[in-house]
Structure 1
């Protein structure tokens, strides 16, 4: 049986690998590290990079926390047990370049002790990776989704179609009637089933974590040398405002962290350094901005 200590140790290794890769991508800034302890049990490692050549603000956070769930979280998770253990790696990167996309990734593990009824621990994996371009570039979207599909297919042919649909539904800004970006994959409560072992689920979780660095390196290098002006920069700030709205209104990880007495700075590191809300903005007909808005919808088959 895979232990929670093994999951946490492997996730910490993935955090280290990703931080090293991002420092290479940027070529200037280095991560600042802060160790923290959670009142109630556990703690984590927050790493922040900022003011770089290409990375304006980014966080790669690891946590392994335990304790007692508040009643509100128990109700949301539909569980009866009080004690929990959770570990994960969470990443959000905001580039300073409008043609380079925002990217988010999370891999996580959740466990509760056995109840008196079944003598089996309640445990599952969750996570995903999604892309939020300021400008949707078809070739980049196809590369991103095709890579995710290939990783998913290594473990189970049903994963990509299931998790892609889940991401479309999850990363949806209902009050704007648009998706946060071009999606990716999202999954939760993934457990061992008849033909899928715990080892397979765990290896899949780690494979998603290790997909982050090569995928983002490719996307950054494709676009980092493109010219842009103030108009593109202002659009970038506007798209960041949508990202902010989603994270503060809908994101389950943000809510879980706040309701379990998580570290505020680590939880809200996902917010961009600068964002703008313009009243009733309408893009120019035929513009790249209008085209991007037309592609922020569910059900687009980007994988080739």
Structure 2
């Protein structure tokens, strides 16, 4: 086994363990939420790719819960050969060797939560590792998407992301916050989809001069570990807030905005569909109900 085979396994195993930690915490939040509804539970389904393409994953989706109206927490580890369009896109981004060798490996976790109570913010998080014969990198981030914004919730979420970044590089938070503000913007609506967070991609901080894999993987783990402290307290604080028909209307309209972004602009959605991953897993981010006016 090569050094990078070992590292691929290490990364994939950690992403899967993060998935296990988050789904267990979300089910515990369901249990502790006061409601006449039964507590939600994740339906876990293995996912596969189109015939001849390697790897797969686990799709975990909870629907109709006390707290979560719909939440997906997916893990995958896939490999194979990029299609021509994806290969050209990677080459255009400057991935070394991609023009000549389209082999790839990727693993990560992807999470999107749509809440029952409009006062609880929707949220997205993902972390991933990508490898090609000529390069490797990490990417990910998390962003908060409230339909009814509370400034103290926004401040808490950003503070946890800031703390995770500062433990590794004080320059990371301002850089990755700005990247999130730019990335999670919806040009055709002229507005952001939420209140931001952090976003990063192509993270290989050592470049070609030295191997920074350990440091970059440690930072990616820190981002994943920061998610529950950033988000769970907001659920616990807002889940009992009374809400009105007008609040629900605002929530459904905001979900329409979220769906537009994910279908038109999101890199992960495009990559998953172009590389033949299970369409239900790729599109699990879409809300259960949405509205447009």
> Who is 1:143 aligned against?
156
- More off after superposition, 209-218 vs 231-240: 209-218
Q: 2:43 aligns with which of 12, 15, 32?
A: 32
Structure 2: distance between partners of 1:213 and 1:146: 13
Structure 1: tracts of 5 or more residues without a match:
114-120, 279-304
- TM-score (structure 1 length as normaliser): 0.87
Q: 2:129 aligns with which of 73, 97, 109?
A: 109
Structure 2: distance between partners of 1:259 and 1:147: 34
- TM-score (structure 2 length as normaliser): 0.90
Structure 1: distance between partners of 2:198 and 2:242: 30
> Who is 1:234 aligned against?
249
Query: When the two structures are aligned, how many residues end up with a matched partner?
Result: 271
Q: 2:109 aligns with which of 72, 82, 89?
A: 89
> Who is 1:215 aligned against?
230
Structure 2: distance between partners of 1:216 and 1:143: 9
Conservation of the 8 A alpha-carbon contact between 2:112 and 2:125? yes
Q: 1:263 aligns with which of 273, 278, 283?
A: 278
Conservation of the 8 A alpha-carbon contact between 1:22 and 1:213? no
Q: Sort the Cα spacing of 1:74 and 1:195 in 2 relative to 1 into closer, same or farther, 3 A.
A: closer
Q: Sort the Cα spacing of 1:85 and 1:34 in 2 relative to 1 into closer, same or farther, 3 A.
A: same
> Who is 2:196 aligned against?
183
Structure 2: distance between partners of 1:97 and 1:77: 40
1:55-94 correspondence runs (5 A)? 55-78=68-91, 79-80=98-99, 81-94=101-114
1:159-170 correspondence runs (5 A)? 159-170=172-183
Q: Deviations over 1:130-188 (max 9, x none)?
A: 00001111111111111111110000011101100000000000001000000100000
TM superposition shift of 1:82: 1.1
Q: Deviations over 1:213-245 (max 9, x none)?
A: 222210101111111111110110000000000
TM superposition shift of 1:38: 1.7
TM superposition shift of 1:196: 8.4
Structure 2: distance between partners of 1:37 and 1:146: 37
Structure 2: distance between partners of 1:220 and 1:196: 39
Q: Deviations over 1:69-106 (max 9, x none)?
A: 01111111113221100000000000011100000001
> Who is 1:42 aligned against?
55
TM superposition shift of 1:207: 1.4
> Who is 2:21 aligned against?
17
* SS of residue in 2 equivalent to 1:181: coil
Structure 1: distance between partners of 2:210 and 2:90: 25
